A and B are shown apart, each in its own frame.
Chain A
Amino acid sequence: MRITVDPDRCVGAGQCALNAPALFDQDDDGLVTLLTEPGADQYDKARLAGALCPSGAITVHEG
């Protein structure tokens, strides 16, 4: 699995940082940053963040 984030689309709702804090953070502008690629035990968290993000700023590439 691989994750890409698009800070240009991010609306700073913070769903990612709240629900998957090991993977995502908000930078000084409040926009998404990817902290690390998910390990196998974090796939569910990554999918959750991808599904919750209201602006489509997080893409989870399976496989």
Chain B
Amino acid sequence: MTYTDPAAPETDPPAVDFPQRKPGVPFPPPDYADYRDRKGLVLSQLSDGKRVWLVTRHEDVRAVLTSPSISSNPEHKGFPNVGNLGVPKQDQIPGWFVGMDSPEHDRFRKALIPEFTVRRVRAMKPAIERTVDAQLDAMLAAGNTADLVADFALPIPSLVISALLGVPPADREFFESRTRVLVSLRSSTDDDRMAAAKDLLRYINRLVEIKQKWGGDDLITRLLATGAIAPHEMSGVLMLLLIAGHETTANNIALGVVTLLANPQWIGDDRAVEETLRFHSVADLVSLRVAVQDVEIAGQLIKAGEGIVPLVAAANHDENAFECPHAFDPSRSARHHVAFGYGVHQCLGQNLVRIEMEVAYRKLFERIPNLELAVPTDGLDIKYDGVLYGLNELPVRW
């Protein structure tokens, strides 16, 4: 017979390994389904020994991301550090507002919102189409094979963001080459990435100075004109836009192409964009949080100072939120997915990404209708290190 001492302290559930992508294990990992079925939340441990709570149900992820007792600020004790996105000490750059809470955060967000409205990003569509066409021209001119990550998926978001920021055309190649180093985990070392980040910061600071003097029809000029953001905060804001929007978008473009080639009936249907975002959920480990007051989520008490990791890939494959979540089905209504997070930090660039992905798939399959993978699907070079899920390369031919 078991005896429970009513005065004994509540025992924690046994801790599970921290989620890490591994060869041979599909993404999202089958463990997530098991975690969703458990009562309360799932306790895990980071490599530094810190306790963190994994949140896997759609409803609970939304609750965490809107709770006033839960913070995005990495300076709070207990904030989970799951590895870096490739850039050192990014959260220490002033203006890095994804790591701030309301109301401090809102000053930055409010100043930027007008740049990313549905109407504003739709107006950018013709320029995005020209960028995508130019990439395809270069690919087609070079032969009948390509690495779709290096030749297509990575340059598109970099060129789009550099146009938005007002990087002069002559500097875009420099800008693109430096941003590429930041996200190429395989071919660049930590030192390379540090050097590239420094180059970019220096460049961005110079660009801000130039815009202060001469101005132009671009985001930096307009942002300076609002007066809401101090010049010394601009580099953090601009680096955030660059980093938040580069690899995330590239990974979605590349993974989406693989999925469309496997499900060709959906090629040409723009609904594939939303379903790709949900299905792949590349930013699974991005929305990290820490409790700043004791708070209860899903009946589990989270104590102040404990880390929280809402797993958006788990939430986006929750049967209670999506029917047959493991099927790629663009005809479903996937709009309530949390691939862009939820709450006040929900992705600022989401409407821009939707257009970039839509144009990228449309143009790619229109101009290269006989595109095919040059490697078997089980031989794809998946990113196991790094925070974001994606591909290191994607060899294709036509």
List residues of B (21-37) whose CB comes within 8 Å of A's CBs.
none
Contact between A12 and B348, CB atoms less than 8 A apart: yes
Task: Identify the closest chain B residue to A13 (Cβ).
Answer: B346
A26 proximity list for chain B (CB < 8 A): 113, 117-119
Contact between B350 and A14, CB atoms less than 8 A apart: yes
Contact between B113 and A31, CB atoms less than 8 A apart: yes
Contact between B110 and A29, CB atoms less than 8 A apart: yes
The answer to the question of B198 belonging to the interface, with a C-beta cut-off of 8 Å to chain A, is no
A15 proximity list for chain B (CB < 8 A): 335
Instruction: Give the CA-CA distance A10 to B380 in the complex, in Å.
Output: 41
Contact between B118 and A14, CB atoms less than 8 A apart: yes
Contact between A30 and B343, CB atoms less than 8 A apart: no
Report the interface size for chain A: residues with CB under 8 A from the other chain.
20
Q: For chain B, what secondary structure do more than half of its interface residues adopt (helix, strand, loop), or is it mixed?
A: helix
Within the complex, which residue of A18, A29, A56 is in contact with B66, where a contact is CB–CB below 8 Å? A56
Contact between B109 and A54, CB atoms less than 8 A apart: no
The answer to the question of B351 belonging to the interface, with a C-beta cut-off of 8 Å to chain A, is yes
Contact between A12 and B335, CB atoms less than 8 A apart: no
A13 proximity list for chain B (CB < 8 A): 340, 346-348, 350
Contact between B116 and A30, CB atoms less than 8 A apart: yes
The answer to the question of A51 belonging to the interface, with a C-beta cut-off of 8 Å to chain B, is yes
Task: Identify the closest chain B residue to A12 (Cβ).
Answer: B113
Contact between B346 and A54, CB atoms less than 8 A apart: yes
A30 proximity list for chain B (CB < 8 A): 113-117, 120
Instruction: Give the CA-CA distance A7 to B20 in the complex, in Å.
Output: 39
The answer to the question of B301 belonging to the interface, with a C-beta cut-off of 8 Å to chain A, is no
- B366 CB, min distance to chain A CBs, angstroms: 24
The answer to the question of B266 belonging to the interface, with a C-beta cut-off of 8 Å to chain A, is no
Instruction: Give the CA-CA distance A56 to B65 in the complex, in Å.
Output: 12
A1 proximity list for chain B (CB < 8 A): none
The answer to the question of B186 belonging to the interface, with a C-beta cut-off of 8 Å to chain A, is no
Q: For chain A, what secondary structure do more than half of its interface residues adopt (helix, strand, loop), or is it mixed?
A: loop
B326 proximity list for chain A (CB < 8 A): none
Report the interface size for chain B: residues with CB under 8 A from the other chain.
26
The answer to the question of B344 belonging to the interface, with a C-beta cut-off of 8 Å to chain A, is yes
- A15 CB, min distance to chain B CBs, angstroms: 8
Contact between A28 and B344, CB atoms less than 8 A apart: no
A55 proximity list for chain B (CB < 8 A): 66, 343-344, 346
The answer to the question of A3 belonging to the interface, with a C-beta cut-off of 8 Å to chain B, is no
Contact between B114 and A29, CB atoms less than 8 A apart: yes
The answer to the question of A11 belonging to the interface, with a C-beta cut-off of 8 Å to chain B, is yes
The answer to the question of B336 belonging to the interface, with a C-beta cut-off of 8 Å to chain A, is yes
The answer to the question of A5 belonging to the interface, with a C-beta cut-off of 8 Å to chain B, is no
Contact between A14 and B109, CB atoms less than 8 A apart: no
The answer to the question of B342 belonging to the interface, with a C-beta cut-off of 8 Å to chain A, is yes
Known contacts: A26-B117, A30-B113, A30-B114. The answer to whether A11 contacts B344 by CB under 8 A is yes
Task: Identify the closest chain A residue to B340 (Cβ).
Answer: A13
Complex interface bits, A43-63 against B, C-beta within 8 A gives 1, otherwise 0: 000001001101110000000
Instruction: Give the CA-CA distance A17 to B354 in the complex, in Å.
Output: 14
Contact between A52 and B335, CB atoms less than 8 A apart: yes
Contact between A14 and B351, CB atoms less than 8 A apart: yes
A48 proximity list for chain B (CB < 8 A): 335
Complex interface bits, A15-47 against B, C-beta within 8 A gives 1, otherwise 0: 101110100001011110000000000000000
- B17 CB, min distance to chain A CBs, angstroms: 31
B119 proximity list for chain A (CB < 8 A): 17, 26
Known contacts: A11-B113, A29-B110. The answer to whether A19 contacts B335 by CB under 8 A is yes
Residues of chain B whose beta carbon lies under 8 Å from any beta carbon of chain A: 65-66, 106, 109-110, 113-120, 335-336, 340-344, 346-348, 350-351, 354
Those 8 A-B pairs whose CB atoms lie nearest each other, nearest first: A12-B113, A30-B113, A54-B346, A30-B114, A26-B117, A17-B118, A14-B118, A30-B117
Q: Enumerate 10 A-B pairs (CB-CB under 8 Å) in ascending A order.
A: A11-B113, A13-B340, A15-B335, A17-B119, A19-B335, A26-B113, A29-B114, A30-B113, A55-B346, A56-B66
